[in-house]
Amino acid sequence: MTVTEEHAPEIGKARARKEDARLITGRSRYTDNMVLPGMLHLAMVRSPLARARITSIDTSAARSAPGVVRVLTGKDLTGEQGSMPNAWPVTEDQKAPPHPAVAEETVNFAGEIVAVVIARSPAAARDAVELVDVDYEPLTPVVDLATAARDEELIYPELGTNHSATWVFDSAEAGTGGDIKEAISAAEIVVERTFRQQRLIPAFMEPRSTVVDPTGEQLTVWSATQIPHILRVMLALTLGIPESKLRVIAPDVGGGFGGKLQVTPEEVITVLAARHTGKPCKYTETRSETMVGAHHGRDQIQTLRISAKADGTVTGLDVHLVANMGAYLGLITSGIPILGAFMYNGIYKFPAYRFECTNVFTNQVWTDAYRGAGRPEATFAIERMMDELATELGMDPIEVREKNWIQHDEFPFATVSSLEYDSGNYEAATAKALELFGYDELRAEQTRRRESGDVVQLGIGVSTFTEMCGLAPSRVLGALSYAAGGWEHAQVRVLPTGKVEVVTGVSPHGQGHVTSWSQIVADRLGVAFEDVEVLHGDTQVSQRGLDTYGSRSLAVGGMAVVAAADKVIEKAKVVAAHLLEAATDDIEFSGGQFTVRGTDQGVGFGDVAFAVFAAHDLPDGFEPSLDSDATYDPENFSFPHGTHLAAMEVDTETGQVRVRKYVCVDDVGNVINPMIVDGQVHGGLAQGIAQALFEEAVYDDSGTLLTGSFTEYLVPSAPDLPSFTTDRTVTPSTTNALGVKGVGEAGTIASTPAIVNGVLDAIRQFGVSDVEMPCSPSRVWHAIQAARVGSGAGTGHTGTGGEEARR
């Protein structure tokens, strides 16, 4: 037993992903790929009207159509289907209507399910949908958010208002800062702006799909979900099925971005269909159904007032939100804007802060998590405001930020919104970004283009952001009235041959956790990267977990893996000491070798694993297993940050906008796999840029979704995006032992304001002060025209924003 060579560290290596082997060869296991014996197929009858009373449903023709097994309406399921869950009552008096999976009395958005056809083939089910005859008594739809907020027409008269809840944070009351009224009255300058966060569609590439097999001892549910564990609990609570009789599996899942952080009517319906028929049932939505029926994101009106001194020092921030819930409260619909409440102060030292959000119902599909969930909205607003302040004061946008941001030597920093930022270095990230960007040269080019009156004008957009990741300390979630905790679970199982199975409670759907977790465990236990198998996404295998969202998987789930691996080592040390005839306290572990301190005597991890398996010669009282569980509850959030710079070209003749150059320097703490981190940033940037320039879910006045397919809802393809320059600074988180912070949402959160600030920087010279998102060519052109024609106070709002879109 002698020591072998050092194990080269896996953490930090750009390992190609283990997950890819099957995905690049077509051996994928998405839910819709599943076929079970005797499986039946579901198709949904959806309301074409945004608000109506269901007066009658005639299913007789559909029931007698070829291949049809059963047709279910809301009336058939009354008393059985319960109400779809909302896990985040943000206030004690939060109002919400009941939300049956299949509408019973009324429909409240176009696309809501009113009946379900169950048939022997997908085609038979689809054909019979045409034969279900639904009579509606139309009711006045309330589509516009501002109109709904005025309570003129009540969507749910029994609630007495369209307002679901109003949530307030006030730094004076919380004792975290001053009084906003005093700050504003004492200010040398006050800037007020209103921004519109347009409604977005998550647009994961895999349409949602659910398969339910009722034939076993447990009801088995396969679903395209981010949250198999939460889904299991919620299905049990909603349908009264004992949780122990439910097994939920998230197989390969084709993207989520928050869009699959939901317990859906379609999942509940597929469970009920399987229970009614006793047969395996499958429902796969079409993309057109995804667009109208899966939750949307964002959709807020944000009014901000910022008070400052004439030198640019901010003295206070007052935020008023009106947030569109849509027709119902989904799983965490109500909490999404509240997540933003803690982020409006961004990276800055604001002495006073007040936030008030009113959640309002409309006759549209409900909103819920979409990549960033509350934090992109907050970051957009404050980063736009910092530019507005700089403009009002004639300062450079970088300069005004520098004046207000937290210095690197001021961490840990207690923020005005009650968080404690553990670490960060905004100066370093910004300096690196400016250098990579060539800030001064681009400013010079901007001046040249202005002076020569070039058709194509250049703008430079700045966004310095932070976000709260690693959701979340359970006590914080409790204080916010969220129904669950924020811990994560992991198990490390040591196989007789020394290979390792890692069970994780997070549920990857593209993030590469299998690869990253293998790297972590390989280093921790000194085993080969290839010898680590990561298991997830099946409640029968991964018995505890809280799943994947909020950039939590590594900072929370990864830490649980570390904790479980460390327990394995502690157990193995006892065995190693026994095998080496040494005291446990004298055993050191490094690179997969247990050694006796001060000697060259050692034993390998694999030998210990086999010794435990054989159990022939173990210390007295030693339980013959190295397997270990850990549940990790973080003590704090983690706070990635970064500086993003966008050089935007605006064709002033057509309004066309192009990203000429995009540079970002993110600080996500320590990096497990730089290739995966870069990939997360790229994808995040694409989505954030798409919000700024391309995407918007638009309803007409009757509540019909006009952007109901990828023909109208403009998801960018490869030629629509630039090549990004990404780089990093590393300021490890001090909250967790890995020093990691989270990266899944950073690009999305940071990029939107960088792009819009860049567009405005190019055209402010004409008197334009705002362009609503998405900054489409027509909006940009109209804004320039209005500014040139008018008194120089042009904005992209009037006649070019939502009004135009709803004509």
Restricted to residues 155-174, the positions that interact with another protein (CB under 8 A) are none
Name residues contacting another protein, limited to 655-674 (CB under 8 A).
655-656
Q: Which two tokens stand for residue 68?
A: 């049809």
Of 6, 570, 653, 701, which one interacts with another protein (CB under 8 A)?
A: 653
Give 48 or 679: the residue with its C-beta nearer to another protein.
679
- Rounded to the nearest whole angstrom, what is the least distance from the CB of residue 787 to another protein in the complex? 15
Residue carrying structure tokens 């988180």 = 733
Our CB check for another protein shows the closer of 613 and 710 to be 710
* 271 vs 693, beta carbon nearer another protein: 693
For the window 319-358, what string marks contact with another protein as x by the rule CB under 8 A? ----------------------------------------
Q: How far is the CB of 721 from another protein (least distance, A)?
A: 6
Binder to another protein among 407, 590, 654, 798 (CB under 8 A)?
654
| Residue 573: CB minimum distance to another protein, A | 37
Q: Provide the residue type at 321 as one letter.
A: L
**Candidate residues 1, 3, 23, 434; the one interacting with another protein per rule CB under 8 A:** 23
For the bound state, the minimum distance from the C-beta of residue 715 to another protein, rounded and expressed in Å, comes to 5
Distance CA 603, CA 581 (A): 11
Looking at the Cβ atoms of 247 and 509, the one nearer to another protein is: 509
Give the binding range for another protein (CB under 8 A) out of 284-292, 410-418, 549-557, 596-604. 284-292
CB of 236 to another protein, least distance (A): 28
Span 780-799, contacts to another protein by CB under 8 A: 781-782
Chain residues 736-755 in contact with another protein, contact rule CB under 8 A: 747
Across-strand partners of 421? 413
Pairing assessment for the beta strands 602-604 and 628-632 based on DSSP bridges: unpaired
Contact (Cβ atoms closer than 8 angstroms) between residue 286 and residue 231: no
Residue span binding another protein (CB under 8 A) among the ranges 23-31, 76-84, 94-102, 482-490: 23-31
CB of 803 to another protein, least distance (A): 10
Residue with tokens 């320097």: 665
Closer to another protein by CB, 73 or 511: give it: 511
Residues of span 373-412 touching another protein by CB under 8 A: none
Cα–Cα dist 302/322, whole Å: 7
Which residue, 2 or 709, has its beta carbon nearer to another protein?
709
Q: Whole-number minimum distance, CB 118 to another protein, in Å?
A: 16
Q: Strand 209-213 relative to strand 281-284: parallel, antiparallel, unpaired?
A: antiparallel
Please state, as a whole number, how many other Cβ atoms lie within 10 Å of the Cβ of residue 444.
11
CB 537 to another protein: min, Å = 13
The smaller minimum CB distance to another protein, of residues 725 and 734, is found at 725
Binding mask 685-724 for another protein (x = CB under 8 A): xxx-----xx-x-x-------xx-xxxx-xxxxxxxx-xx
State which amino acid sits at residue 53.
R
Residue 100 and residue 112 in contact, taking contact as beta carbons nearer than 8 Å: no
Query: Contacts with another protein in 27-56 (CB under 8 A)?
Result: 27-28, 30, 32-33, 35
Binding residue (CB under 8 A) for another protein from 76, 488, 678, 745: 678
583, amino acid identity: A
Complex with another protein: residue 276 or 661, whichever CB lies closer: 661
- Contacts with another protein in 253-282 (CB under 8 A)? 253-255, 257
Q: Which of 744, 550, 703 is nearest to 634 (CA)?
A: 550
User: What's the CA gap between 107 and 746, in Å, rounded?
Assistant: 37
Q: Which is nearer to another protein, 687 or 795 (CB)?
A: 687
Looking only at residues 408 through 437 of this chain, which bind another protein when binding is defined by CB under 8 A?
Answer: none
Nearer to another protein, 27 or 150 (CB): 27
Tokens encoding 46: 């959806």
Is residue 23 within 8 A of residue 75, CB to CB? The reply is no
Of 509 and 524, which CB lies nearer to another protein in the complex structure? 509
Task: Check residue 76 and report its DSSP letter.
Answer: H
Question: Which helix or strand (DSSP H or E) is residue 518 part of?
Answer: helix 513-525
Concatenating the DSSP letter of every residue in 313-325 gives -EEEEEEEEEEEE
Closest distance of CB 145 from another protein, Å = 18
DSSP state of 638: B
User: E-strand spans in 612-712?
Assistant: 628-632, 641-651, 657-667
CB of 610 to another protein, least distance (A): 33
Of 13, 181, 275, 287, the residue at the interface with another protein (CB under 8 A) is 287
Of 76 and 299, nearer to another protein (C-beta) is: 299
Footprint (CB under 8 A) of another protein, residues 77-136: 122-123, 126-127, 130
- Single out the segment in contact with another protein by CB under 8 A; choices: 479-487, 523-531, 678-686, 755-763: 678-686
> Which residues within the stretch 193-212 sit at the binding site for another protein (CB under 8 A)?
203-207
- Torsion angle of the four alpha carbons 243, 247, 252, 257, in this order, in degrees rounded to the nearest 10: -10
By CB under 8 A, how many residues form the interface with another protein?
80
Residues 6+ apart with CB under 8 A from 163: 95, 149, 151, 358, 359, 360, 361
The beta strand positions in 416-455, using DSSP E, are 420-421
Q: Per rule CB under 8 A, is residue 625 in the interface with another protein?
A: no
Q: Of 252 and 770, which CB lies nearer to another protein in the complex structure?
A: 252
β-bridge mates for residue 89, sequence order: none
CA-CA distances (angstroms) from residue 496 to 32, 615, 624, 650? 36, 11, 11, 63
Two structure tokens written together for 219:
């009801």
Q: Among residues 6, 9, 24, 168, which is the contact residue for another protein, using CB under 8 A?
A: 24
**Residue 795 corresponds to which tokens in the numbers above?**
């904005």
- Which residue lies nearer to another protein by CB, 16 or 174? 16
Q: How far is the CB of 258 from another protein (least distance, A)?
A: 12
**Smallest distance from the beta carbon of 689 to another protein, in angstroms?**
9
| Six-digit token string for 324 | 């569109």
**Ordered DSSP codes for 344-402:** TTTTB--SBEEEEEEEEE-SSPPB---TTTTHHHHHHHHHHHHHHHHHHHT--HHHHHH
With beta carbons less than 8 A apart as the criterion, state whether 504 and 545 touch: yes
- Give the range of 110-118, 521-529, 639-647, 650-658 binding another protein by CB under 8 A: 650-658
- Cα angle at 422 between 418 and 423, to 5 degrees? 130
| CA end-to-end span of the chain | 80
Q: Which of these, 374, 399, 387, 382, lies nearest to 348 by C-alpha position?
A: 382
Looking only at residues 467 through 526 of this chain, which bind another protein when binding is defined by CB under 8 A?
509-512
